[in-house]
Amino acid sequence: MIVAVKDVTKRFRDVVALGGVSFTLRENTIYGLLGRNGAGKTTLMQILTGQQVATAGTVEVFGEQPYENDAVLARTCFVRESQRYPDDYRVKHALRAAALLFPNWDEAYAQSLVDDFRLPRSRTIKKLSRGMLSAVGLVIGLAARAPLTLFDEPYLGLDAAARQLFYDRLLADYAEHPRTVMLSTHLIDEVADLVEHVLVIDQGRLIVDEDADRLRGQVVLATGPADAARAFAAPRTVLHQTTVGPVARFTLRGEVDADARAEAERLGVTVTPVSLQQLVVSLTTGAAGSATSKETTP
Amino acid sequence: MTSLAVDRRAILASRALAVTRLQLTTNLLPLAIPLVVLAGSFVVNVMVFSASDRAQAEGTTGGVASIYFAQLVVAWASVHQNFSFTVGLNATRGAYYLGSLAVAVLQSLVYGLVLFVLNILELATGDWGIGLAFFDPAGLTPDASPATYLVYTVPLAFVTMLGLFLGSVSKRFGTRGFFLLSIAAFLVGGLVATLITHLNGWEPIVEWLARQSLRAVLTGWLLVPTVLASVGGWFVLRRAVP
């Protein structure tokens, strides 16, 4: 366990950005931190890296609190969408700076990534396109090889090919140099196969903290004649439901075992797994933001 | 002291050193600006003094002040340029600030040396042969003594620390916060001045100042606000968010 967050609350004046969040991160695991805009993902990552201080609760990273802790932060890399660079910095300057600040920095690997992402080494960072700017952050995040690496919306403006390149490089490097990675993104389907553990934040609250494979089995789509589908849904938690004519579709939470499948078949209800993205969408569109709230779409 | 505390200090020192190296090696442009400004000012003065009649060239120039203003602005801007970047890459604020202080001290020592050496040249060439007392406009540095070196260097350290302090304030509180704080500072200053007037306190202050030589003020007393600015900058910056 390299991160332990307990009852962390962060208030900005009268806005509650995080309300009583608790979780732990294991060593050498890729975490997906998912949630809507303004859910509190960035604030959480800032608190983990000591850039913000929690209003209440405790945070331990590598067994110590991270704020102004050189030993902890030297082993942590936080790549964020809004990373600022000095105005006159060129790409090579940013890499040189990162090489000085990250003890595990691999210069050869960084240079190969610069080639992969086709970054112009001598161009001023201010003049880079949005996608290239993101790529600079990705190169730093990967080549830093920090035992705890946080990516916050790291690829704004990056094209699909470059994003795929990032996933490939991340997985390959992760296999050779295991570390703990936390990745926050809105492109959930793209990272669905990448993340091993899913954390979902909604309105400052942690509503899912689950192994990715287990989570996938836990939420299903039950489609069938309205009465039959309703009967199948009755003992389960309904996350979302739509009715079109005689056909109803329920998004359900809860393990669907062999018995349940047999029951569904008897009722004439089709049970299909939902994608991670579907799941997060249905969990975070509730008015109250609660995982158990039932909602009906007319 | 426990060994853990020693470890922490060692790590802080190594991180601060990394920040210092970062600022001294990655991009040299900000370090060169004060010298470039000084060179520009010097060239303009040489042209003006060469063009004027030697006999009349008894005027003085404050051109050497250009490096002090440039250094103030560069130090101020450096906080805005480097703080978010460096702390964004997970240096602690402490490591950033210590590393920046080290750069500030090094800059003052080196630029002070440049001025000191150029002043020796000026003395040796008899004001560059054109009556241009560029590096000693007020007769404060008439020799090559260590005290002369300090007359150049301590004010440089002062403007650099002041720049770091002002940069920390505007970084932490934003432009609007900076203006509000400036207004507050003026009000407090005005209040203190009024109070001194009320207590008939100006006379002893002026008398005390008259007893100090300008060299003593520049090399000694100026260290007090220099240290205050550098410490104050830390208290402002340690809660700033990158």
pLDDT tens sequence across A190-202 = 998 899 999 999 9
Give A11's DSSP letter: E
Contact B168, B79 (CB under 8 A): yes
Q: Do residues A241 and A199 both lie within one domain? A: no
Q: Of B181, B60, B143, B158, which is closest to residue B111 (Cα–Cα)?
A: B158
Which residue from B minimizes the CA distance to A47? B241
Q: Do B89 and A101 touch (CB under 8 A)?
A: yes
Q: Do residues A129 and A94 both lie within one domain? A: yes
The percent of residues above 70 in pLDDT, for chain A, comes to 96
Tell which of A146, A179, A203 closes a domain. Answer: A203
pTM above 0.90, yes or no: no
From residue B173, how far is each of A24, B167, B198 by CA, in Å? 34, 10, 34
Q: Do residues A178 and A101 both lie within one domain? A: yes
From residue A169, how far is each of A65, A112, A113, A173, B113 by CA, in Å? 31, 11, 8, 6, 50
> Mean pLDDT, chain B, as a whole number?
90
Give the residue carrying structure tokens 């309904």: A238
User: Interface pTM (ipTM) of the complex?
Assistant: 0.86
pLDDT of amino acid B50: 83
CA distance A34 to chain B (A): 22
How much of chain A is helix, strand and coil, in % rounded to 5? 35, 30, 35
Write the CB contacts of A219 (distance below 8 Å, at least 6 apart in sequence).
A239, A251, A252, A253, A273, A274, A278, A279, A282
Tell which of A203, A223, A242 closes a domain. Answer: A203
Tell whether B90 is within 8 A of chain A (Cβ): yes
Question: Can you tell me the distance from the alpha carbon of B86 to that of B22, in angstroms, rounded to the nearest whole number?
Answer: 9
Which residues in A lie closer than 8 A to residue B81 (C-beta atoms)? 86-87
pLDDT of amino acid A297: 41
pLDDT of amino acid B4: 65
Tell whether A149 is within 8 A of chain B (Cβ): no
Q: Of A179, A4, A181, which is closest to residue A104 (Cα–Cα)?
A: A179
**DSSP SS3 for A31:** strand
| Helix H or strand E segment including A224 | strand A219-225
B22 Cα distance to chain centroid: 20
Would you tell me the crossing angle of helices A91-101 and B3-25 to the nearest 10 degrees?
A: 160
Domain around A198:
3-203
Whether residue A275 is contained in a domain is answered as yes
Radius of gyration of chain A (CA): 21
Other beta carbons within 10 angstroms of residue B133's beta carbon come to: 23
> Mean pLDDT, chain A, as a whole number?
90
CA distance A64 to chain B (A): 12
Q: Do residues A220 and A194 both lie within one domain? A: no
pLDDT tens digit sequence for B107-159:
999 999 999 999 999 999 988 888 888 898 888 888 888 889 999 999 999 99
Domain total in chain A: 2
* Nearest CB neighbour to A71, from listed B8, B82, B84: B8
- Consecutive 10-residue runs of chain B (242 residues): their mean pLDDT? 73 95 90 94 89 63 90 95 94 96 96 95 88 85 88 95 95 92 93 90 85 83 94 93 88
